């Protein structure tokens, strides 16, 4: 699926009328790192938005990347994402341990 179809429900309805996907995409998969960097930078500049990332997923653990042009605010935001993920992982491990104990 191309980006315009993923980002626009109206376009997707026109191009892919049988699609079960609804709403706008919240994840875009890029073919390589160069394409991802171009899309990331264009989105940041065109939307005048505060972007957090990039975050690489799909490996055993997520990887949080800070670019050379990151601002202090960007460092704080990425730190907050990292802490939230670590807390979620910690809670998951605690729940697994409780489940093991309650099975005994």
> pLDDT of 54-104, one tens digit each?
676 666 777 787 888 888 988 898 898 888 888 877 777 777 666 666 655
Number of domains the chain contains:
1
- Mean pLDDT along residues 10-23: 90
CA 27 distance to own-chain centroid: 6
pTM score above 0.75: no
Residue 17 lies in a domain: no
Q: Which domain holds residue 98?
A: 51-103
Q: Quick check: 63 and 78 in contact, CB under 8 A?
A: no
Percent of the chain with pLDDT over 90: 10
* Cα–Cα distances in angstroms (integers) from residue 21 to residues 10, 13, 26, in the given order: 12, 9, 12
Tokens read off for 101: 């104990």
Tokens read off for 28: 């875009």
Residue 73 lies in a domain: yes
Residue 59 lies in a domain: yes
Residue 38 lies in a domain: no
Residue 42 lies in a domain: no
Question: What span, in angstroms and rounded, lies between the C-alpha atoms of 34 and 54?
Answer: 13
């Amino acid at each position: 699926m191309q980006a315009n179809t993923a980002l626009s429900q109206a376009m997707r309805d026109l191009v892919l009328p049988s699609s079960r996907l609804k709403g706008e995409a919240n994840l875009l998969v890029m073919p390589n790192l160069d394409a991802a960097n171009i899309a990331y930078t264009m989105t940041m500049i065109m939307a005048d938005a505060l972007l957090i990332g990039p975050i690489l997923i799909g490996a055993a653990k997520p990887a949080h990347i800070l670019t050379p042009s990151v601002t202090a605010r960007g460092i704080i935001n990425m730190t907050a994402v990292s802490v939230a993920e670590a807390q979620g992982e910690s809670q998951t491990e605690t729940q697994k341990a409780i489940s093991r104990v309650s099975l005994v």
